[in-house]
Amino acid sequence: MVRAAIVCSVLLLTAPVAVAQDMPLTMFILDGERWKPSKVHVQHHAHPIHAPEIVPNATVSAVSPDGSTLYVGSSEGRYLWAFRRTAEGKTGLGDRYVRLWKPAAQKDQPVSALTFDSRGCIYAATPGGLQTFDPTGRLCGVIELPSKKSVQALIWTGTDLDVLAAQFEGGEFFTRKMNTRGIK
């Protein structure tokens, strides 16, 4: 009985620490901020998709801010894939890394654009919204997108790189001030 009380006390004392590891969506978005149509188009240069053959129908790839991981999105399934990169930039072992959120009736959750913030958090544009993940791959939330069209690019802009620009199919641009800083 005394042992059970000690275990319960330890769990209660450490629970706030365990909860503090989660990154709520408020760490990404600012209260009251919304997507705004933008007349200023940010120059985006399409990068070739680098994807190992095991990724079915790869649609987008991006390298983590520290250069150690290649992330690959696909038009099939519901995962974001991750692959180790060597110091020389060669792709090594990898597998499905992040399980994307999807509506129950939907089979696949295609990824059309990827970016990262300065903390290493992942932003994946899907038909279900802009899915945000902490650096360990845990879903933090889904930010609703302002258009039903496919996102072609996600670009950090603004003086402090705190504005996320989304370029949609057909050339539409929207921007949103974020509660984080991006990377170039």
Q: Residue 116's pLDDT is what?
A: 96
- 100 vs 106: which has the higher pLDDT: 100
The region of weakest confidence among 4-18, 120-134, 164-178 is 4-18
Q: Residue 43's pLDDT is what?
A: 64
Structure tokens, 55 = 């990724």
As a 3-state breakdown, the chain gives helix, strand, coil percent values, each rounded to 5, of: 10, 40, 50
User: What are 109-161's pLDDT values in tens digits?
Assistant: 999 999 999 999 999 999 999 999 999 999 999 999 999 999 999 999 999 99
57: nearest Cα among 128, 8, 134, 111 = 111
User: What are 84-98's pLDDT values in tens digits?
Assistant: 998 888 888 899 999
- Distance in angstroms (rounded) separating the CA atoms of residues 77 and 58: 11
Distances (CA, A) of 143 to 3, 11, 94, 137: 45, 33, 27, 16
> What domains lie within the chain, and their CATH numbers?
22-177 (2.120.10.30)
- 45 vs 17: which has the higher pLDDT: 45
Q: Residue 15's pLDDT is what?
A: 36
User: What are 43-59's pLDDT values in tens digits?
Assistant: 665 666 777 788 889 99
Q: Which residues contact 78 (CB under 8 A, 6 or more apart)?
A: 99, 100, 102, 108, 109
User: What are 70-85's pLDDT values in tens digits?
Assistant: 999 999 989 999 999 9
User: What mean pLDDT value characterizes the chain?
Assistant: 85
Q: Residue 7's pLDDT is what?
A: 38
Q: Residue 64's pLDDT is what?
A: 92
DSSP code string of 80-136: EEEEEE-TT--EEEEEEEEEPP--TT-S-----EEEEBTT--EEEEETTEEEEE-TT
